[in-house]
């Protein structure tokens, strides 16, 4: 067996000051909330000066807007950048894979959204409405291919998966106490994704 190390990957460039500030703001907002976070706190977390934060984003409102745009991009890139495969492909599994990718690759985005859903802010409403549209389209496709059980309430068929997913996001710290390791670990995310898909298939799909 070849014991040589794998071909080395090229080193990624260090994040720019603007990227570091944006990441720091996302983390601060997720933990402390928008109202309680000052530009100084963001600057300290980013290892920058308050003046540099103002140079790149102007006011706190400008920084919040930039964070919201970043979160929308992350969600859109993960979930909606490519069309979901049409039935009879396993669209539930693919959608689940895309959702779990956000949880593994962008935990600060998940924390920020969880807080937003609890606070009922405008960004959370925008993302929720987008997810409802994606879920509705998915269930319409399944119905067109005669894969839904008869008598299914189509509105709740679209909403229930979101309730399962977003409820898990909001309650994940409590859920962690009942798992052998944190939900965000690959093993537990795989278990959760499989359990949700199994529940939806048995309750909503034929066959």
205: DSSP letter = B
What separation in angstroms does the CA of 94 have from each of 100, 121, 157, 158?
A: 10, 28, 17, 16
* 10 alpha carbon, distance to own chain's centre: 28
pLDDT score of 3: 54
What is the C-alpha separation between 62 and 132, in angstroms, rounded? 28
- Please count the other Cβ atoms lying within 10 Å of the Cβ belonging to residue 203: 11
- Please give the model's pTM, rounded to 2 decimal places: 0.79
**Residue-wise pLDDT tens for the chain (207 aa)?**
455 555 556 665 777 999 999 999 999 999 898 889 999 999 999 999 999 999 999 999 999 999 999 998 998 888 888 888 887 778 878 888 888 888 889 989 999 988 888 888 888 888 889 889 988 988 888 888 888 888 889 899 889 988 988 899 889 889 999 999 999 898 999 999 889 888 888 887 776
Q: Are the C-beta atoms of 141 and 91 separated by less than 8 Å?
A: yes
Beta-carbon contacts of 77 under 8 Å, excluding residues fewer than 6 positions away, are none
Q: How far is the C-alpha of 29 from the C-alpha of 50, rounded, in Å?
A: 16
Domains of the chain: 83-204 (1.10.357)
Dist. CA 41–CA 18, nearest whole Å: 15
pLDDT (0 to 100) of residue 177: 96
The Cα–Cα gap between 180 and 49 comes to 41
User: Helix (H, G, I), strand (E, B), or coil: what is residue 148?
Assistant: strand
Q: What is the predicted pLDDT for the residue at 89?
A: 78
Determine contact, residues 193/97, Cβ cutoff 8 Å: yes
The rounded distance, in Å, linking the Cα atoms of 117 and 93 is: 24
pLDDT score for 135: 87
Residue among 42, 23, 22, 19 at smallest CA distance from 32 = 42
């Amino acid at each position: 067996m070849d014991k040589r190390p794998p071909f080395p990957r090229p080193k990624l460039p260090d994040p720019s000051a603007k990227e570091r500030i944006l990441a720091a703001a996302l983390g601060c907002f997720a933990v402390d909330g928008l109202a309680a976070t000052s530009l100084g706190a963001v600057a300290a977390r980013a290892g920058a000066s308050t003046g540099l934060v103002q140079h790149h984003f102007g006011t706190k409102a400008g920084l919040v807007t930039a964070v919201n745009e970043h979160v929308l991009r992350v969600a859109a890139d993960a979930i909606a950048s490519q069309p979901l495969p049409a039935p009879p492909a396993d669209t539930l599994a693919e959608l689940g894979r895309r959702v779990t990718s956000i949880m593994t690759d962008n935990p600060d985005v998940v924390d920020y959204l969880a807080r937003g859903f609890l606070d009922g802010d405008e960004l959370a409403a925008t993302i929720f409405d987008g997810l409802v549209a994606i879920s509705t389209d998915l269930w319409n496709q399944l119905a067109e291919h005669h894969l839904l059980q008869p008598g299914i309430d189509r509105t709740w068929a679209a909403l229930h998966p979101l309730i399962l997913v977003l409820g898990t996001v909001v309650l994940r710290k409590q859920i962690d106490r009942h798992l052998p390791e944190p939900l965000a670990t690959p093993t537990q995310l795989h278990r959760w994704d499989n359990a949700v898909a199994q529940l939806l298939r048995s309750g909503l799909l034929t066959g």
